[in-house]
Structure 1
């Protein structure tokens, strides 16, 4: 059998997969599977194939349920909880079956399978095939702010969780029968318990990194390290803004203009604004913010930790958790109260809607 495989949907997922490989360091080899469903990995695919971190790299043409018209009827509300659950049982099995032709590898060949975001179709496939796997949190402490398993299944959650534990339906983040465990950064901050949560702090993974490992990750993710340094060095005061795919494009422009207006002056000095674009944020920041320096979304922000002599005076994030970033002292996390000004609170206050 082969040793390990990581199924990744974002640059951050690949970053954590690298950290885990360096941490495990057992001499085994790992396969990297990159889903094309929600992220364009671009040039990183070829760099990953050349990198010694992974033994093999495959792209995965993962398909959402809307790709299969035959599933639409199974998603319609019948107005009856029993009939709805019967439909859901059928949906989960059929969705997993339909996904099979797009799977690029034989998962049964691997001793350990690590899946980031098993709410995506890959989770349904592994459940359908009865293949055990390890789930890994989608983003740093993401369940703390948005417990997707409980939110998506609010109302009779315990019944649904029991059905998932028997393999009848699929629920993500540690509730499925074939999910061995659910790896998170910090169990203590999670509002709801799950028996399968296991804690592996990201700080444990990053603190042990050596310079060689950091260099390997920079080569994997970043096209032009010197270009980034030239953009951000030599400025008096600097404000780093982390973009996110929030709301519609017009509202998004307003959000980030308001952030720059509110936080763009540091010690009575107008700061140079640097915008780190989110990989899934398609807003043209260079056009809408011509005075700002824009760092593209083709690498995870954590790479800035590894570039020597880079620092910022202030960082502002709406929802991205910034605890792992060491290149800035003044970190401002805005969160739900800030977003209430731009959209209906129920859109982003998901955890508050969980009742069971």
Structure 2
């Protein structure tokens, strides 16, 4: 475990995705600059290959250290599987969950690369990942940050995950710290930072609104140039794109949906549909492992690691439409029309019960 110097105005950001890194950088360029002190970034390799991002973050000078985090999922520890079996009743299942929580946190210990107690503020993106259990079981307070832009708008994950006997589970998590619930519903989570409280169907007192657009709008020209250097590996390629006629362009954002074969069909259908309207461009999601370069080579394909919000920083980039399935488009300001297809569209590609989680939450909490 790596030690840092004396605890004075120190912040650490635990990031699992490129979007998490983007928000962390924005926070450091704004809030961090006002607070002073220093910041460290922890890059979890559990669900993303950040490639050479660490080097570019170091070169930015925003963080005193960039650390890799070899975070492990529960499936890495086969001895935990028995605690996930359904025992047929709330009492037996709760007992197993208590044991699971304690043992999982203990097993994760040796993979933690830093002493979190040395930091004044800990920001955890997606505390539903193992780091959330670890921090709570070690009684370390932290700030949760929403996983993606307006992630809680469709449904609150904690309420979906624990929609049966929610009140009991909430008490065991928030009061007793015997089990763990995500998105602020845990004892040692101080608050849950979100982009827009008004879109969340939950009046939970821990929600703290920090609009992302305000962070972006407050950046200086120098800050924007630094953002580009951090996230865009090949600016020449983007300049080449800018030189193309993209005024009739349709940008389709991919997402890691369904199985790979169904996902390919889904985006085949979308590219075929929107090719009728203009030039189609694809922006693969960072966690989408479908080989778009090979399978969709006839289209212009953006580097998957570029946060789509940064495209608006380039003068000349403008699309007729931006289309997504579930990705929220609130920060997109470089398109004439924004289309989020949603559940009705997804019904054609998979069992509705898989993605209609908001309806499951509504049914469970209906009075």
**TM above 0.5:** yes
Alpha-carbon shift at residue 290 of structure 1 (Å)? 2.4
1:169 pairs with 2:169: no
Say which of 28, 37, 54 aligns to 1:28: 37
- Aligned pairs (5 A) from 1:48-87: 48-87=57-96
The whole-number CA distance in structure 1 between the counterparts of 2:343 and 2:242 is 30
Give the CA deviation at 1:49: 2.1
Asked whether 1:122 is paired with 2:131, we answer yes
Cα deviation, 1:104-133, whole Å, max 9, x if unaligned, reads 110000000000000000001001100000
* SS in structure 2 of the partner of residue 7 of structure 1: strand
Q: Paired residue for 1:240?
A: 251
Taking structure 1 as the reference length, the TM-score comes to 0.96
Quick check: 1:233–1:310 contact (8 Å CA) kept in 2? no
Please report how far the alpha carbon of residue 135 of structure 1 lies from its aligned counterpart in structure 2 after TM superposition.
Answer: 0.2
Question: Distance between the aligned counterparts of 1:148 and 1:275, measured in 2?
Answer: 28
Q: Distance in 1 between matches of 2:85 and 2:320?
A: 51
Looking at structure 1, the residues matched to 306 and 40 of structure 2 have their Cα atoms a distance apart, in angstroms, of 20
Matches within 5 A, 1:1-356: 1-2=7-8, 3-24=10-31, 25=33, 26-166=35-175, 167-235=177-245, 237-266=248-277, 271-354=278-361, 355-356=364-365
**Alpha-carbon distance, 1:314 to partner:** 1.3
What is the SS of the residue equivalent to 1:72?
helix
8 Å Cα contact 2:266/2:349 also seen in 1:
yes
Q: Deviations over 1:139-158 (max 9, x none)?
A: 01111113211111111111
Residue 59 of structure 1 and its aligned partner are, at CA, apart by 0.4
Query: Unaligned 5+ residue runs, structure 2?
Result: 1-6
Query: How many Å apart are 1:232 and its aligned residue?
Result: 4.5
Query: Is 1:9–1:35's contact at 8 Å kept on the other side of the alignment?
Result: yes
Instruction: Using the TM superposition, give the Cα deviation of residue 326 of structure 1 relative to its aligned residue in structure 2, in angstroms.
Output: 1.2
Q: In structure 2, what is the Cα distance between the partners aligned to 1:318 and 1:243?
A: 8
Q: What is the distance in 2 between the residues matched to 1:95 and 1:113?
A: 21
Between 1:160-169 and 1:105-114, the stretch displaced more is 160-169
How far 1:225 moved relative to its partner?
A: 1.5
- Paired residues in the alignment total 352
CA distance in structure 2 between the aligned counterparts of 1:213 and 1:97, rounded to whole angstroms: 40
In the TM superposition, residue 81 of structure 1 has moved relative to its aligned partner by 1.1
Which range moves more in the overlay, 229-238 or 204-213? 229-238
The alpha carbon displacement at 1:231 in A equals 2.7
Per mean C-alpha deviation after superposition, the further-off stretch among 223-232 and 339-348 is 223-232
Contact 2:124–2:145 (Cα < 8 Å) also in 1: yes
CA deviations on 1:138-183 (whole Å, 9 max, x unpaired) are 0011111132111111111111111111211110001100000001
What SS is found at the alignment partner of 2:192? strand
Q: Secondary structure at the match of 1:143?
A: coil
Q: Which whole-Å deviations, capped at 9, do the CAs of 1:158-211 have from their partners, x for residues lacking one?
A: 111111112111100011000000011111111122121111111121111111
Q: Distance in 1 between matches of 2:198 and 2:209?
A: 9
- Displacement of 1:308 in angstroms is 2.4
Which stretches of structure 1, 4 residues or longer, exceed 6 Å deviation after superposition? none
Name the stretch that deviates more: 295-304 or 7-16. Answer: 295-304
TM-score (norm 2): 0.93
